[in-house]
Structure 1
């Protein structure tokens, strides 16, 4: 019997269906540009045919290097029609990072916005297989020898090429944040991302009547899933070029947005708006917001819930580029199970293993988190060693440390890389950060380990005060002393502005960058 009969649902199939079922419904809005499902289907098909006509073949990799804009919808919907593999790259990348990712993923072409063309040109000598005729520019003045994106679409067929692909074929390669070294290319299959769409629908009751606001960079996994998943289910997306706290609220009112995703830093910026701006907009269309990417500390959580009111749910989840959503904490549990990131999502099994022996640990005991999910990566691109190191049997770890409680809820203790060992005692900064952010004058706190001649490492806290508030190091230290055991109290506190804390484009804090000056000249950073 032929075991390969039948077909798989791929990321391209949702748009195909909705272009027939609801062709005139608005699919995507970006600034003053609006596309219906029929229009998006046509543009996606034109892009697919244009790339195939240039000699590209199924399985070839195509990079997109841009801040958020409408063309991301073409990209994520069009490449699967041709069996091509997307490689979204952060617009913050400089020449060395750009060339590294383009070369290691073996990209055959780059789609780029005009603002970043100069960086691409400066990287030409580093590229292994990209020349000027393989660079497509979105709009503006296209440099000689490069390709005008809209011209490419106009001269290409609007008929869906329907290159045959299966669920295990790669959809895109997502580069991880690279907080512990060089970025790794996570190969994500169509099956994995369709499963992620289904998980979203079940966990957050997504349906075709939703309007999702997207302001996190579309090169990252969560906003990518929000956009591609909304198209897949026939819902509407509103894309912002970049995050702006007041603009988020304005667009919620203007477009009757029903949901959005943000990292805690973004929610902090919204809550820091002056009262006359914070309360100036009608948010009654919102059904829920969801926080992920970093711990949502209890102080921020309570302020956010007070602002949203009882009719807007606040969810949290735990996930990664490699896994999509792993666990989900529903709004009903967000206070009762504070400190948890919820229970395993649909089809997900979570284990806590001993770091050294990889043996399962009992309830409540801290170890390395391993998970088996239906949206797991296929592999790290062209890196069998890193792939092998990430797995125990068919369970994967992304290096996080935590435990499962007696109800099966997952609690993150920290990333293993962030653990501080002082005097032989393991200290987990998240616990101290959680206490600091409950202080009424503190908006954000980041705790790291720095060298200590006696203890090996000691704790240093960076504290961001609320606007207009004045804090001293002594006040902060005394506050922590009143809340935690003495060995958990930071030895030093620096009062800083939010801008002084280095972050990834997604908003996550780059603790490695914070540590660097203190560990300069050392052979290690722990």
Structure 2
């Protein structure tokens, strides 16, 4: 009889199938690293280096600011910041009080912002001078009492801190802030606050650390309730998976946004747990990233496939030394095999695909970094169970058969904020229904085929967009692609391919169709091709197929 968990046979000997996860406030991780490595660099931001001692003191100051403003255990604090030192201080400071972090995308428009702030009941928000007017415009429709405003220049080195406002003014950006009793200055508040740390005790299994909103691309965004235990468990799982990495010696390239749960856990929390340095990037730009890698020598680079695609296609990549990168875990979208091979060739490091979702803090699966790996998302993390179930019966599907992936483990959420009906749909007896179609092979390695919702049904045939995309990606002219279902009078739906070509490359729709016909069953071959300059994506590089579908419906 096959093993119930065949993947355990493929764990490295250094990785245990199970671990003890400390029951503590997540903020304790920062203070522990600051005690062990006070002068070790924690953050590097556009030329400025900040050590662990100062990082911990900034977080403690912010916690004491919150206390002075009447913030208490369980209150929600929104953080609307790009990757910068303030996002680290605000997150850990909020947790020190026992309050709940509500990560908020800085790109949100008023409608999205209003929904999230009102739904979460956040009492206070930290944001940039660049963004505070957007918050002010929706404040009356939320429970916000105060807005704490900071600026990118607040943590820039001299003379960049003086030049930044001049540049923004020249670009026509207004950074002026009218401070009052409700709009407060980050720098003034922190300067006046005590740096003495005090960590609120928490019930780690039941007290929320994070409300992370998800689902906005397919419907109304829901707040995922993640406890202190959820985040600590996933951090510890990630740390042990990359077992060759050493405490106090690693440098993380923080290109993924920390306001996304992938960046928050896999970069910020893991880096702090390891007493690693974070190289913070407010936004991903190919040339500056290449320059930063060559200059600051990061060892770990969690990212999204689009980031790796952009780097390997940069015309000057050969002139940069990328050999410091030892390991990368790719998530948020499928990792094409060609991208994996090329990136490993230019860095000499390892790039593996993992899998997760906001509801699981987020990582549940990853390929081995240094041992046996296969195409796909790899094997479940320690203490994580997974199986593929038949969509109709709910019974476990035979090995190799397609079904819905369901998972359970210490990283799985408590539920959706104020949405018991939605929670009931996806949490069943401790199992999280992912909504992703997958299969498991005889070794326990998993492969995601596609989202249930992205399934294209053409003339009665089921077509999974990822399968079409993998074939398109094999064409040497294709840089990025997406396949989506569009309405078809005869077939109900049919496949349309959206293509971004490599610089200088050219190919016709007829040539791509021939390429696909040689590699796909006839019913899967795209009937329409559209060449574009770019594809709509989330901040972590996931292509928004729903947006493509909506554009088609509008005739854009």
Relative to the length of structure 1, the TM-score reads 0.93
Contact 1:300 1:437 (8 Å CA) reproduced: no
Contact 1:503 1:509 (8 Å CA) reproduced: yes
Matched with 1:142 is 177
Contact 1:471 1:495 (8 Å CA) reproduced: no
Of residues 431, 441, 463, the one that matches 2:499 is: 463
User: CA offsets per residue over residues 59-115 of structure 1, 9 Å max, x none?
Assistant: 000001122211011022211111011101111100010010001011000101011
Structure 2 unaligned runs (5+)? 1-20, 152-174
C-alpha displacement of 1:41: 1.2
User: CA offsets per residue over residues 385-430 of structure 1, 9 Å max, x none?
Assistant: 1111002211002211111111111110100011000111111010
SS of the residue 2:72 aligns to: coil
- Find out whether 1:298 has 2:337 as its counterpart: yes
Alignment map for 1:277-316 (pairs within 5 Å): 277-309=316-348, 312-316=349-353
Matched with 1:447 is 483
Matched with 2:515 is 479
- Find out whether 1:216 has 2:249 as its counterpart: no
C-alpha displacement of 1:318: 0.5
Give the total of aligned pairs. 505
Deviates more, 1:343-352 or 1:23-32: 23-32
User: CA offsets per residue over residues 344-401 of structure 1, 9 Å max, x none?
Assistant: 1111100111223222111111111100022111111111111110022110022111
Partners of 1:250 and 1:44 in 2: how far apart?
Answer: 30
Deviates more, 1:156-165 or 1:300-309: 300-309
Partners of 1:272 and 1:282 in 2: how far apart?
Answer: 15
Partners of 2:111 and 2:215 in 1: how far apart?
Answer: 15
Partners of 1:362 and 1:446 in 2: how far apart?
Answer: 30
Matched with 1:506 is 540
User: CA offsets per residue over residues 173-209 of structure 1, 9 Å max, x none?
Assistant: 1111522111111111111111111111111124321
SS of the residue 1:107 aligns to: coil
Partners of 2:118 and 2:229 in 1: how far apart?
Answer: 26
Contact 1:300 1:443 (8 Å CA) reproduced: no
- Find out whether 1:326 has 2:364 as its counterpart: yes
Contact 1:47 1:74 (8 Å CA) reproduced: yes
Partners of 1:299 and 1:233 in 2: how far apart?
Answer: 31
User: CA offsets per residue over residues 448-500 of structure 1, 9 Å max, x none?
Assistant: 001111111010001111111111111110110011111111111112222xx
Structure 1 unaligned runs (5+)? 1-5, 522-526
Matched with 2:474 is 438
- Find out whether 1:261 has 2:298 as its counterpart: no
SS of the residue 1:350 aligns to: strand
Change (3 A) 1:153 1:382: same
Alignment map for 1:380-399 (pairs within 5 Å): 380-399=416-435
Relative to the length of structure 2, the TM-score reads 0.88
User: CA offsets per residue over residues 115-167 of structure 1, 9 Å max, x none?
Assistant: 1112112212322x124xx0000136432321000111112111112211121
Of residues 24, 46, 59, the one that matches 1:31 is: 46
Matched with 1:248 is 289
Change (3 A) 1:308 1:34: closer
Partners of 1:37 and 1:404 in 2: how far apart?
Answer: 42
Change (3 A) 1:138 1:70: same
Matched with 1:3 is none
SS of the residue 1:444 aligns to: strand
SS of the residue 1:507 aligns to: coil
Change (3 A) 1:353 1:7: closer
Matched with 2:553 is 519
Partners of 1:252 and 1:322 in 2: how far apart?
Answer: 32
Contact 2:127 2:150 (8 Å CA) reproduced: yes
Matched with 2:274 is 233
- Find out whether 1:46 has 2:27 as its counterpart: no
Partners of 1:293 and 1:404 in 2: how far apart?
Answer: 20
SS of the residue 2:226 aligns to: strand
- Find out whether 1:272 has 2:272 as its counterpart: no
User: CA offsets per residue over residues 308-349 of structure 1, 9 Å max, x none?
Assistant: 23xx11121001111121111124578x622x2101111110
Partners of 2:178 and 2:215 in 1: how far apart?
Answer: 31
Partners of 2:257 and 2:344 in 1: how far apart?
Answer: 25
Matched with 2:374 is 337
- Find out whether 1:201 has 2:201 as its counterpart: no
SS of the residue 2:500 aligns to: strand
SS of the residue 1:397 aligns to: strand
Partners of 1:352 and 1:228 in 2: how far apart?
Answer: 30
Change (3 A) 1:73 1:473: same
- Find out whether 1:491 has 2:527 as its counterpart: yes
